[in-house]
Structure 1
Amino acid sequence: MSLRIISADDRLREAQGKTTMALFGPSGAGKTTLLKTLPPAETLCIDLEAGLKSVQDWPGDSIPIRRFADAVDIACLIGGANPAAQPEEHFSEAHHAHLRAHHSELAEKIDTKRIIFVDSITDLTRQAMAWAKTRPEALSERTGKPDTRGAYGLLAREVIGLLKHLQHAPGRTVIFVGILEKVVDDMNRVTWQPQMDGGKVARELPGIVDQVLTMSLFSQDPGAGPDALPTWRHDPDKGNARRLVCQSGNPFGLPAKDRSGRLDLTEPPDLGALLTKINQPRKG
């Protein structure tokens, strides 16, 4: 039996070493450069978009991935075996044992990493869509022709399953990076939404992770009174400072969520400092 009682102290120790986070920002905003704010010896970058040119001098390890099947295997090595999975399914005991036996050196290297930086979830869904189109589920049983709805359904199931598996990775912080796109409707109203293949993945991701952050450009306005602190104004086109938006219901209309309750409305673009703030022991 795998059921057990977890004490408050055990739960607190686990929470201090484990956070799941989704980080969004416009293309070219510098999301990948935030790798430099994480401890390189403890961080592994899962490079799905061949986008590490901006961090050539970052001394940490990375794994380039170009196929969704490889992303599934790496997620299995990171998250371990799922005891609920059937032997023939992804993330099963058999799948995990096979990978550790055939890729022992890689598995041992992954075991030394405490932070997993997935760059990017946008490309992960694109790879998943390319894979899904080759599967029998993506063909109509009646006509044998491609079935787009079947492909999207398979994409959603597999990607959400992968994300949830990484969510349960023991003792690890997992950061999913994604592109945020600006959408202007017919009434000239602006909204911001994650760029992914398959709307279901984008809708469910905020419920999977602990934290949702958006990185964007801001300008600083002086305070209203002599003792008032300056305020940050969202200025995505001309701003001169990068900030991380951390709270839901923010006045900027940007995706954000803070399950820890410890982050300010905006924070400096430093993931190391942010994780320290989230995981600091509570007083009293």
Structure 2
Amino acid sequence: MALRIVTADERLSEATNKTTIALFGPSGVGKTTLLRTLPHETTLCVDLEAGMKSVQDWPGDSIPVRCFEDAIDLACLIGGVNPAADPNGFFSAAHHQHLVAAHPELVRLIAGKTTIFLDSITDLTRQAMAWAKTRPEAFSEKTGRPDTRGAYGLMAREVIGLLKHLQHAPGKTVIMVGILERVADEFGRVTWQPQMEGGKAGRELPGIVDQVITMALFSTDPDGALRHDPEHGTTRRLVCTAANRFGLPAKDRSGRLAETEPPDLAALLRKINATRR
């Protein structure tokens, strides 16, 4: 039996050493540049969108990923073995052992990293969709023609499985970056939603991670109050709490963050993981 008791000390130690964050923001707001606020020696950037131009002089390590199969393999190396996985499926002991034997240099690299910066989950879902369209589940059993619903269902299941596997990565803080898009309905009401292929992965992601944070642009009113100003704002802030004035996606399981925080991920993590007295 794999069940075991976790003591309070063990739980506290784990809580202070790992956090999962979904970080969203509109294109061009500077999400990738937040890499500069993390310690480069212990941070690994998983580059899914060839978007390192803005941080090309960042001294940390990065791994470019161009297909979903490679993303699955890398997630397996980061997260280890999933004891609930199909013995012949992704994240199984056999899958992990094969990758460890084939890529010892990656095993050594990942072992020295405590923060994984995944840029971005938007592109991860696009790669997953391209992969899903080639799988048997994406074709009708009766006609042999492409089945879009089957492809979307497979894509959502595998992306959610990958993100949950990263959530359980031992001793790793995982920051998943994604694009936030403005959506207006037929009545002109505006909402902000994560840009991801399909809807299922985007709906379930907030329940997977510890923190949901939106990076946005703001202006300052004459009385000093912040005003969300995505078109002309010049002040970047991280929106961190669910009941925020701006209607932006956010969630704080730690209960330690203000409505907005400065755009500094290292400082944010210190605040989230500060030991209670």
Give the deviation of 1:222 after TM superposition. 4.1
Q: 1:4-43 maps to which residues of 2 (within 5 A)?
A: 4-43=4-43
Residue 254 (structure 1) aligned with residue 225 (structure 2):
no
The TM-score, its normalising length taken from structure 2, stands at 0.99
Partner of residue 241 from structure 1, selected from 235, 238, 256: 235
Q: 1:1-284 maps to which residues of 2 (within 5 A)?
A: 1-223=1-223, 230-283=224-277
3-state SS of 2:218 partner: strand
Give the deviation of 1:86 after TM superposition. 2.1
* Alignment deviations for residues 131-188 of structure 1 (CA, whole Å, 9 cap, x no partner): 0000000000111000000000000110000000000001110000000001112211
- The AA in structure 2 aligned to 1:129 is M
* Alignment deviations for residues 193-214 of structure 1 (CA, whole Å, 9 cap, x no partner): 0000010000000000000000
3-state SS of 2:193 partner: strand
Identity %: 73
In 2: Cα distance, 1:103 partner to 1:159 partner: 23
Give the deviation of 1:231 after TM superposition. 2.0
In 2: Cα distance, 1:179 partner to 1:256 partner: 14
- The AA in structure 2 aligned to 1:108 is R
- The AA in structure 1 aligned to 2:160 is I
- Unmatched 5+ stretches in structure 1: 224-229
The TM-score, its normalising length taken from structure 1, stands at 0.96
Give the deviation of 1:249 after TM superposition. 2.2
In 2: Cα distance, 1:2 partner to 1:63 partner: 33
* Alignment deviations for residues 81-115 of structure 1 (CA, whole Å, 9 cap, x no partner): 01111221100011001100010111111111000
- Unmatched 5+ stretches in structure 2: none
Give the deviation of 1:236 after TM superposition. 1.0
In 1: Cα distance, 2:168 partner to 2:106 partner: 20
* Alignment deviations for residues 223-259 of structure 1 (CA, whole Å, 9 cap, x no partner): 4xxxxxx321111111110000000021111000000
Q: Which moved more, 1:162-171 or 1:1-10?
A: 1-10
- The AA in structure 2 aligned to 1:185 is D
3-state SS of 2:226 partner: strand
In 1: Cα distance, 2:105 partner to 2:24 partner: 32
In 1: Cα distance, 2:181 partner to 2:166 partner: 25
In 1: Cα distance, 2:187 partner to 2:138 partner: 36
- Structure 1 stretches of 4+ moved >2 Å: none
3-state SS of 1:242 partner: strand
In 2: Cα distance, 1:249 partner to 1:278 partner: 18
Aligned residues: 277
- The AA in structure 1 aligned to 2:113 is K
In 2: Cα distance, 1:93 partner to 1:248 partner: 38
RMSD: 0.7
